[in-house]
Amino acid sequence: MNVIIGIVAGIVAIAVIVGVIFAVRSSRRRNQRDIQDGSRIGGGAEAAGSEGGEGAARQSQYSAARGAAGDTEVPSQAQSAGANAAQASAESEKPARSPLDAPESATSRISRLKARLAKSSNPFGKALFNILAKDQLAESDWEDVEDTLLLADVGAQASGELVEELRRDARIVGESDPAQVRTALRGKLLDLVGRDTDRSLNADRADANTPSVIIMVGVNGTGKTTTAGKLARLFVAGGKKVVLGAADTFRAAAADQLETWGARVGVPVVRSDKDGADPASVAFEAAQRAKDEQADVLIIDTAGRLQNKANLMDELGKIRRVTEKNLPVDEVLLVLDATTGQNGMAQAKVFAEAIGITGVVLTKLDGSARGGIVISVQRELGVPVKLVGLGEGPDDLAPFDPEGFVDGILA
């Protein structure tokens, strides 16, 4: 009997031990599954994340790929560019997460520009027209004409010349009816603005380099970053493949700002995560990536702080030189704030000397009654106004259209 009880007790003890072992193993397996599921959920959340979350994720990917590349010299930037390119292609393989914006076409923007300028109560043309519509013009009227032009930022020399020509014509024609004066004024303003000037962006020319490189320069706050983002949309609307380079490493938020612009239209942004990193390093990597990805256009945003001219020249000169190790620079666009009027001109000249500019973008024209700056900026810098910024909306950047501009201010 004792033997039988002993055998049963042994079997029960073995069964208990085996049961405990199984329970422990399956509990471990469950834990492992939970951990794996947890990381998948995290990845899913990232994939479905908001623009900010996505930006932050991308930012940390760049940090991982780049390490301290931001401040290194060019040869090591090349290695880091390779890492970035790999990172970039991994990113581009990610499925699209949110529908992209469909930016407005250039033609439609120009119609909006005309309408917006016509609606703005610009005193420029109206004041001139009122004065010139008088039957007889006294000396004081001509002075008023000149003052109005000066107030509208046409600049002293151009204002003097325009008044002189109008006076001469009035003498020749004798008494003039308002319609004639208006036509004459329109013609003269168009001449001053430049009706036949080539204002096309070099990247849009038939023989443009691909990728075509555009560097944005200008004093802080004029709208460089915003314009770089808007310009990317303009090219995307024209069916071009764009890469953005965030070489404004001075203002940390500038790269985030540019990344948000890029994300809305599926344009990649090459950036550094390090505040104050060498902007030329970012420009180098951006050029490398635009080349690798066979982009049509590379737009490089810069900080362009005006600490002093030598410093500015060094910084912009280095950005250009380093970019040109990969790609020739086709365009340097100076971004000018129309509301700063003639004060902006002095700064503009410094930039023109520092890097040499090929065109001007006049921003905030929506908030300015000083459309005449178009005339003075072209005269003084000898380069055309190619684009105008007409608001804070994403597509409020349009090719500059002289006829629409003159009609708008005379309306």
Binding-site positions read 218-225, 301-305, 363-366
In the complex, least distance from residue 356 CB atom to ligand GTP, rounded to whole angstroms = 19
Question: Residue 142 and residue 50: Cα distance in Å, rounded?
Answer: 59
Binding site for ligand GTP (CB under 6 A): 218, 220-226, 248, 251, 254, 303, 363-364, 366-367, 389-392, 396
Closest C-alpha to 248, from 289, 285, 217? 217
Which of residues 26 and 343 has its CB atom nearest to ligand GTP in the complex? 343
Q: What's 204's DSSP letter?
A: G
β-strand partners of 400:
none
Alpha helices in 94-223 (DSSP H): 106-119, 123-132, 139-151, 156-173, 178-193
268 touches 92 (CB < 8 A): yes
Which of residues 170 and 258 has its CB atom nearest to ligand GTP in the complex? 258
In the complex, least distance from residue 261 CB atom to ligand GTP, rounded to whole angstroms = 10
Closest C-alpha to 393, from 261, 215, 222? 261
In the complex, least distance from residue 221 CB atom to ligand GTP, rounded to whole angstroms = 5
Question: Residue 137 and residue 203: Cα distance in Å, rounded?
Answer: 48
Which of residues 226 and 376 has its CB atom nearest to ligand GTP in the complex? 226
* Residue nearest ligand GTP by beta-carbon distance: 389
In the complex, least distance from residue 364 CB atom to ligand GTP, rounded to whole angstroms = 4
The count of other CB atoms within 10 Å of the CB of residue 235 is 24
In the complex, least distance from residue 256 CB atom to ligand GTP, rounded to whole angstroms = 11
- Residue numbers in the known binding site for GTP are 218-225, 301-305, 363-366
Neighbouring residues of 166: CB distance < 8 A, sequence distance ≥ 6? 132, 142, 145, 184, 185, 188
Which of residues 131 and 299 has its CB atom nearest to ligand GTP in the complex? 299
293 touches 243 (CB < 8 A): yes
Which of residues 137 and 359 has its CB atom nearest to ligand GTP in the complex? 359
Element (H, E) at 398: strand 397-399
Quote the tokens at residue 198: 């080539």
Rounded to the nearest 10 degrees, what angle do helices 123-132 and 139-151 cross at?
170
Element (H, E) at 386: strand 385-389
Which of residues 181 and 303 has its CB atom nearest to ligand GTP in the complex? 303
Which of residues 183 and 311 has its CB atom nearest to ligand GTP in the complex? 311
Question: Residue 351 and residue 356: Cα distance in Å, rounded?
Answer: 7
In the complex, least distance from residue 361 CB atom to ligand GTP, rounded to whole angstroms = 9
In the complex, least distance from residue 158 CB atom to ligand GTP, rounded to whole angstroms = 23
